Amino acid sequence: MAGPAPTQLSSEEIAYKDKIIAMPCKVEEEGVWGLEMVTASLSFKADKNSIAMVRARSQEYLSQYSNMKLEATTDYLISTYMPKTTSAFDYGYKVIIKPDGNNFTVDVKCSSAKGSAFVSGPKPKPDMHAKMLANYLRTGEIYPKFIYYGENYKAMSIWE
């Protein structure tokens, strides 16, 4: 059975995708709960005038675009529960906000269980999801059609 048909992208969407792909991101693998987890992380600076917006956007994004429920929402940590399945649609997120002089450092992490090499279908993309979240927190720019969540199967063909 063939996957979804490729999604047509506007020139604005292509520029967004290229920007997300170009963002630097650290990716690590580790075993958690008997699953191989892949975690992508990146950081950015935010000034004291924008940090309230970063917190609000974090809660909105995680509430709306993660299949995992919110686990913690404090001034310095906004996170979801971590996934415990190998679904390409289950991502756990953490946004950690740390005072840094007169500004803040915002760490963004996205984790997904590494799917089996023998399973067909979409593969998890925690790096792209961490980058999209960080970009949204910094700029407010978001394209939901790029995000794997709920039943958004069309997002698969964008990143393949």
Q: Name the strands in the sheet holding 103-113, side by side, starting at the edge strand that comes first in the sequence.
A: 26-32, 35-47, 103-113, 92-100, 77-80, 70-73
- Which residue segments constitute the domains of the chain, with CATH numbers given? 11-159 (3.30.530)
SS (H, E, C) the chain: CCCCCCCCCCHHHHHHHHHHHHCCCEEEEEEECCEEEEEEEEEEEEECCCHHHHHHHHHHHHHHHCCCCEEEECCCEEEECCCCCCCCCCCEEEEEEEEECCEEEEEEEEEEECCCCCCCCCCCCHHHHHHHHHHHHHHCCCCHHHCCCCCCCHHHHHHC
Phi, psi of 140 (to 5 degrees): 85, 0
pLDDT digits (tens, 9 = 90+) for 8-58: 889 999 999 999 999 999 999 887 666 788 899 999 999 999 999 999 999
How far is CA 113 from each of CA 6, 27, 29, 89, 126, rounded to the nearest angstrom? 25, 13, 9, 10, 9
pLDDT digits (tens, 9 = 90+) for 38-52: 899 999 999 999 999
Residue 84 has a pLDDT of 78
Residues 41 and 44: their CA atoms lie apart, in Å, by: 11
CA atoms within 13 A on the CB side of 88: 21
pLDDT digits (tens, 9 = 90+) for 101-160: 999 999 999 998 876 444 555 566 889 999 999 999 999 999 888 887 766 656 666 666
Residue 2 has a pLDDT of 47
